[in-house]
Chain A
Amino acid sequence: MKQKKLFTDQEISAMIREKKNQNLALNQLYMQYYEIMTHYVIKNSGSEADAADIIQEVMLVFVRLIEEGKFRGEASIKTYLYSILKNLWISEIRKRKATSQRHEKYQSQSNRWESDISETLSQQENIHFVMKLFSQLGEACKTILTLFYYEDLPLKEICVKLEFSSEQVLRNKKYKCLKALTDSVTNSPEISSNLKKALRHE
């Protein structure tokens, strides 16, 4: 996996935010930081497999931070990744020791970007729950929603790609798929309760 040119932190952040060559950005993140993060996990009583799992999660949280505008370059990407990793790994260790609570308390934060990481991590459980509900939708629904919301393809293009008879038919199908997902979330007592608490700022 050789990349001739190394992108700067700002370039990587822009590539992820704008979803332009995001795979190149991810490849560079792996190339530059995978070993450092693996070393941290192994040094702190984890295994190579633990590291592989947790690093995927670190990357996902980092993408979220960029998407939500919480990566503002106050610290380097390396610092962000390391901070996310430490928080996630400490939380994982606590879970393994069966001393964790439902809602994890993450490391104390001394500045804004660390607070952002902590806040993002605290919502990660809900995100994973909904991602799981999304994975349980039918293949057609998953494809339509992914092409529209992740790939950012216009309905016209999706219509051609998936061979829908008309854009309106596709629009209706997309609406039904999204409705099915939001209904699953609404019907989940756990998520509902978490959201209520979050909306009441508890």
Chain B
Amino acid sequence: MNNQYDLEQLEAYLHGTANSEQQRQIQEALEQDEELKRQLAILELALKSIRLSGWQDDIKLAQRTYLQNRKPENLQVKQVFLGSWLGRIAASLVFFLIGALILVVMSTSPESFLESKSIRYRVPVTRGTIELSEMEQAYRREKFESVLSLHQRQTAPSQKSTFLAAMAALEIENGPQAIQLLQAVRIQNQESDSMLYEDEVDFYLVKAFVMTGNFEEAQKEIQQILRDPNHSYRGNLSRWDEWKVKIMNLKY
């Protein structure tokens, strides 16, 4: 320890409270005396540390007070930050799905379903075929009432004739008649042990059942088509269509 100046004098110098003569003397001594310079640095460090110890106590108190009054949601948000983000994403997805579901329920109706499945049956005309029956000609000309009337006049209509009449009934949106005629084709097939218009009957029965509001039967027909990997109309229907019919069943 440099004995020339005591702690009080050095402190006064540090705080600028020493008289000007002493201030100058210490300043000059510091320029030559490394030991004095070190003592001054130690004193400065000690004084700073005393003050900071006081500050540390106040900081600890402020932190303790803050943590005691900390809002639980703040704590949770920070602790489960990742979980919180995943939660937000999940909530957004749920919100989106609910919105989408509501939209689907609102927009699903027999009309929209039938419109999406508006595959009109066309009388097949192969190259070289010139002659068409009177019923076929009427169907092609969209004279559907005539088709039905011609069918009624027949005493023993063929599956082809009955099927064409069913298509005509569908065209004029006579669902019950279409169902009756399509089911008649099935019976004729069973009786004759044939499979004429089998896939067509399945598909158009779906339309006819939806048209008449018989959604449970429509659903059964869809399931039957989807179960058969070789069904001609499998590509025209999906599980989503089955869901739409279920929704219509709940809705109407």
Contacts and interface: CB of A to CB of B under 8 A. Distances in A.
B78 A48 contact: yes
B: contact size bracket: 35 or more
Contacts of B45: 126-127, 130, 185, 191, 195
Interface stretch (B47-55, B106-114, B203-211, B223-231): B47-55
B50 A60 contact: no
Nearest to B56: A60
Interface string B32-61: 001001110111011111111111101111
B41 A127 contact: no
A180 to B, nearest CB: 10
A175 interface: yes
Nearest to A149: B50
Identify the interface centre among B60, B70, B78: most chain A CB within 10 Å of its CB: B78
Contacts of A191: 42, 45
A134 B53 contact: yes
A19 to B, nearest CB: 9
Contacts of A26: 58-59, 62
Contacts of B69: 1
A47 B62 CA distance: 20
B183 to A, nearest CB: 68
A181 B38 contact: no
A146 interface: yes
Contact of A60 (B8, B46, B52): B52
A48 B79 contact: yes
A31 B66 contact: yes
A200 B216 CA distance: 95
A52 interface: yes
B153 to A, nearest CB: 84
A58 B34 CA distance: 33
B81 A150 contact: no
A: contact size bracket: 35 or more
Contacts of B62: 23, 26-27, 29-30, 59
Contacts of B59: 26, 56, 59-60, 63
Contact of B34 (A64, A179, A192, A199): A199
B1 interface: yes
Nearest to B34: A199
Given A27-B66, A179-B7, A199 B49 contact: no
A59 B64 CA distance: 13
Contact of A64 (B8, B11, B52): B52
Identify the interface centre among B8, B50, B58: most chain A CB within 10 Å of its CB: B50
B58 A30 contact: no
B194 interface: no
A131 interface: yes
Interface of A: 1, 22-23, 26-27, 29-31, 34-35, 38-39, 42-43, 48, 52, 55-56, 59-60, 63-64, 67, 126-127, 130-131, 133-135, 142, 145-146, 149-151, 175, 178-179, 181-182, 185-186, 191-192, 195-196, 198-199
